[in-house]
Homo-oligomer: A and B are copies of this chain.
Amino acid sequence: MSHTSTQIQLAQRPHGWPTHDDFRTVTVEYGDLDAGQVRVVNEFVSVDPYMRGRMIDTRSYIPPFGLDETMTGGAVGRVVESTVEHLPVGTLVSHQFGWRDVVQEDASGFRALPEPPGGASSSVFLGVLGMTGLTAYVGLLDIARMQPGDTVFVSGAAGAVGTAVGQIARLKGAGRVIGSAGSAEKVTVLTERYGYDAAFDYKNAPVRKQLREAAPDGIDVYFDNVGGDHLEAALDSFNDGGRAALCGAIAQYNATSRTPGPSNIANIITRGLTLTGFTIGNHLDRAEAFNADMGTWFANGEVVYDETVVDGIENAVDAFLGLMRGENTGKMVVRIG
């Protein structure tokens, strides 16, 4: 008996903004399981900003997506057929097989998950309890070494990572947390729902000016999801000894030529600043500390989260393009079936 899987492949490498032409949908027929394999029906597939970087063929921390191969990435699903004892039918699992509705692979590619706490959807393991939350945690606490009392600035603050960063900062004793986002609605959500002390719409006025007004005494930590003028503004607002965690540079993802960097690099010297880039794959050893902290906060209702849900694997490309345009609040996921 065969099993049909709908999968999204990368058909060509995007130049500038990705379009539907850069992807294709294929149907794969799986046969019976081989020994050691499991079959998983996905519940949620993740689309993430870092994926834009992997669509081009450039030296990076992880190899680019393969052409004519199914897009890989985080997903959660449930085992529907199994040849291994430790992943029986019904087990909720996470994996990196990406943009497809059904996956059939060796059991070593899957990690068993508990049922989601508090009646949450399993998508939470792609977001605040998953890589997204871990990225926020590691970037803020390990990379930018936030200390209690610090003034923290987060760009792209209404995104999945940014909403987590603001809350972790508050829970870890930040003195003041400031966020930027790209619409009035998002700005309201930041202060009213996510506990940001101040927020501004970066489209309203120069970031430098708005950041200075929001942080008249300067910032100590900058969590950068954006790059570009946000990074330059942060360099101008940093107090001595300030630390930046560079997580994403979404402003540059779709640029077709090199864009000039910040014009105030000299501040790094005169103020003794540290800028550190990171990608979460190199910091998975922090998952245990993260799970302990975030698990407690989540169980106590001390963190909130949002998801923007797009239905159907056939709409995964639309979900990704919407993410690139900033149409999400919180984690963008594709719901399957």
Contacts and interface: CB of A to CB of B under 8 A. Distances in A.
Interface of A: 53, 58-61, 227, 231-232, 240, 246-249, 252, 258-279, 282
Given A260-B260, A275-B275, A61 B270 contact: yes
Contacts of A279: 269-270, 272
A265 B279 CA distance: 14
A53 B275 CA distance: 22
Contact of A277 (B227, B258, B273): B273
A146 to B, nearest CB: 16
Contacts of A282: 272
Nearest to A266: B249
A61 B267 CA distance: 10
Nearest to A218: B59
A53 B270 CA distance: 9
Instruction: Identify the interface centre among A247, A266, A273, A278: most chain B CB within 10 Å of its CB.
Output: A266
Contacts of A59: 270
Given A249-B265, A263-B259, A278 B272 contact: yes
Contacts of A275: 268, 274-276
A254 to B, nearest CB: 12
Nearest to A231: B265
Contact of A269 (B232, B249, B259): B249
A227 B266 contact: yes
A208 to B, nearest CB: 12
Given A260-B260, A260-B263, A261-B263, A247 B231 contact: no
Contacts of A232: 261
Given A270-B60, A276-B273, A277-B271, A227 B258 contact: no
Nearest to A62: B270
Given A259-B263, A260-B261, A261-B261, A269 B240 contact: no
A104 B240 CA distance: 33
A229 B131 CA distance: 36
A244 to B, nearest CB: 9
25 contacts: A53-B270, A58-B270, A60-B271, A61-B271, A227-B266, A248-B269, A258-B263, A258-B264, A261-B261, A261-B262, A262-B265, A268-B275, A268-B276, A268-B277, A269-B278, A269-B279, A270-B277, A270-B279, A271-B277, A272-B277, A272-B278, A272-B279, A274-B274, A275-B275, A275-B276
A265 B274 contact: no
A297 to B, nearest CB: 27
Contacts of A258: 263-264
A64 to B, nearest CB: 11
A240 B278 CA distance: 10
Contacts of A61: 240, 270-272
A58 B258 CA distance: 30
Contacts of A227: 265-266
